[in-house]
Amino acid sequence: DTEVTQTPKHLVMGMTNKKSLKCEQHMGHRAMYWYKQKAKKPPELMFVYSYEKLSINESVPSRFSPECPNSSLLNLHLHALQPEDSALYLCASSQVGRGGQETQYFGPGTRLLVL
């Protein structure tokens, strides 16, 4: 099973709202990722968690706040977003420590619209 699930599938929020995106995997993967994808563009890496610790933050604005409460869950908390933050947010997971041969598996994404 190579399934990564994400909720919600769609989200509309105002610029003053607080919302959260959720990602879950049960493959025993110890690395989890958040990507942002704009239309007709490749995914852009936002955050990487390895063994539940934040290992990479690609200079993402503080209005995006990641959280990894356990090895199966990854959250992305959203606050005071801007319309330009509207995008598809993708979660991925992979094994760690396979000599570089880790493969990332992606979820279906949450399509976010900020009004």
- The CA-based angle 62-63-65, given to 5 degrees, is 70
74 is a site residue for another protein (CB under 8 A):
no
The yes or no reply on residue 107 touching another protein (CB under 8 A) is: yes
- Please return the burial class of 28, using the count of CB atoms within 10 Å of its CB with bins 0-12, 13-18 and 19+: exposed
Closest CA to 113 of 86, 89, 78: 86
The reply to whether 22 sits near another protein by the rule CB under 8 A is no
Q: Shortest distance, CB of residue 24 to another protein, whole angstroms? A: 14
Nearer to another protein by C-beta: 69 or 99? 99
- Residue 55 has which token pair? 């290992």
| Per CB under 8 A, 50 contacts another protein | yes
Candidates 14-22, 65-73, 75-83, 94-102: pick the segment binding another protein (CB under 8 A): 94-102
Binding residues with another protein: total (CB under 8 A):
29
Burial status of residue 111 (CB atoms within 10 A of its CB: 0-12, 13-18, 19 or more)? middle
Q: Does 103 bind another protein (CB under 8 A)?
A: yes
Q: Which is nearer to another protein, 2 or 82 (CB)?
A: 2
| Distance between CA atoms of residues 111 and 23, nearest Å | 13
The residue among 16 and 59 lying less far from another protein, judged by its C-beta, is 59
